Chains A and B, each alone.
Chain A
Amino acid sequence: MEHKLTVEALKDGTVIDHIPAGQGRRIAKLLRLSESGQRVYMGFNLPSQRSGKKDLIKVENILLSAEDANQLALYAPDATVNVIEDFEVVAKHKLGVPESIAGVLVCPNSNCISHVEPVTSHFSVRSRHGEIRLKCKYCEKAYAKEVFTGLS
């Protein structure tokens, strides 16, 4: 008999598909899914016709808003976000660049006050000539998204 690891179909929740392989963990952290208390299924390096390999996340009982979905645009611009209610897809979010990102990223500037005080990090997001830059509310320095290595 063939052994299969099955993941139950979602009754209510969100499926984030077509995440570039290797970015799934970062996105789960960005959306604080492990802190949600809900069941989260993650698939890494799944076969993908589009890109060879992909990551996938299913989360129960959390219906991501368009702004939540936009947070993914930085690291998974081609991801699809399907919101499911009662086994039916009720919304498909098209990803856009978020206006800001709060409380997730760590400022790359080691002299920024946000490293030593109990504050929530906050970055405004700007897109210029197709390049996304994130500007820290505190130290006012702007960085390309690739510069960010740490998540708070």
Chain B
Amino acid sequence: MANPLYQKHIISISDLSREELELVVHTAAELKRHPRNDLLKDRVVASCFFEASTRTRLSFETAVQRLGGSVIGFADAGNTSLAKKGETLADSVRIITSYVDAYVMRHPRDGAARLAAECSTKPVINAGDGANQHPTQTLLDLFTLHETQGRLDGLKVAFVGDLKYGRTVHSLVQALSLFGCRFYFIAPLALALPDYLYEELDERNIDYSDHEDIEEVVPELDILYMTRVQKERFEETEFHQVKSRFVLTADTLAQARPNLRVLHPLPRVDEIETGVDQTPYAYYFQQAENGVYARQALLALVLNETL
């Protein structure tokens, strides 16, 4: 029987069921333990980045090549027919997808990936569309949570920083709510989680609470998920006040349980002091490395009926 992700577009995390998410997580773990270099043999994958993204693009391209496939594409749209000749995205996708077996795309416009999927006869994988979705970041986060905790069900997860604009946080909250996790939200009022997500959590009877301070919840946590508070969201003096309350230091983790791990989608600026890097709790660099395994798993599942 074909795996449920075979030839499927991967556009939004909410398109994936709990079983499909688990399938990607387990496949990523398997590929990390036992690398395979044949799963994309003779396959060509387009990697089309209409805006720059260092980690996502390089980890996708590494994933394709590690599985024995090859990559075509571009790292920014500046030299394409879209920019130079005014071609529509829809036409561009139709042409490129006729060359390849799968189409990985990042685009600055919200909804560009859904549009690409409508124009493509090959699977489209969304590598980020504007402020909307970035499903493979969520998949690598889920894989990392499972790798560090041995499970996804019932984890106690705190999100810190910019919970309003961070699509990474929104998607991960939605995915983890399928696994009955308990959430702690720690953010300045101006960057609180959007109301629609609170409503979704209420509808699913998910347990959550809001806090002003990281330290007060640390002893309860399995995962501390940090995000960057962007300077441009605040006035200068307000920013310095806010920033100082949402910076993680090694001292903040004094009461942490041994299994606690600190994650961050990166790049970090100064919201995690480098002193934390030396603690056993830091796991954000391994998390970034896991991006390759999660993307390998997804590509392998989308392009192989059975593994």
Q: Tell me whether A112 and B88 are in contact (CB under 8 A).
A: no
Q: Which residue of chain B has the shortest Cβ distance to A141 in the bound complex?
A: B110
- Cα–Cα, bound, A109→B114 (Å): 15
Q: Which of B108, B115, B131, B196 contacts A138 (CB 8 A)?
A: B115
Known contacts A138-B111, A139-B111, A142-B196; decide if A117 and B88 are in contact (CB<8 Å).
Answer: yes
- Cα–Cα, bound, A139→B167 (Å): 12
Interface size of B by CB at 8 A reads: 21
Q: Which residue of chain A has the shortest Cβ distance to B12 in the bound complex?
A: A140
Interface SS of chain B? mixed
- Cα–Cα, bound, A118→B119 (Å): 12
| Most chain B CB atoms below 10 A, which of A116, A139, A141, A142 | A139
State whether the Cβ of B89 lies closer than 8 Å to any Cβ in chain A.
yes
- Cα–Cα, bound, A139→B118 (Å): 14
State whether the Cβ of A137 lies closer than 8 Å to any Cβ in chain B.
yes
Q: Which residue of chain A has the shortest Cβ distance to B88 in the bound complex?
A: A117
State whether the Cβ of B290 lies closer than 8 Å to any Cβ in chain A.
no
Q: Tell me whether B90 and A139 are in contact (CB under 8 A).
A: no
State whether the Cβ of A119 lies closer than 8 Å to any Cβ in chain B.
yes
Q: Whole-angstrom distance from the CB of A133 to the nearest CB of chain B?
A: 9
Query: CB within 8 Å of B: which residues of A?
Result: 109, 111-114, 116-119, 128, 136-142
10 contacts between A and B (CB under 8 A): A111-B130, A116-B89, A137-B114, A138-B115, A139-B111, A139-B132, A140-B12, A140-B110, A140-B133, A141-B132
* Given contact pairs A113-B114, A114-B115, A142-B196, a sample of 20 additional A-B residue pairs in the complex whose CB atoms are under 8 Å apart: A111-B131, A112-B110, A113-B89, A113-B109, A114-B111, A116-B109, A117-B90, A118-B88, A118-B90, A128-B199, A136-B111, A137-B111, A138-B111, A138-B115, A139-B110, A139-B130, A139-B132, A140-B114, A140-B133, A141-B132
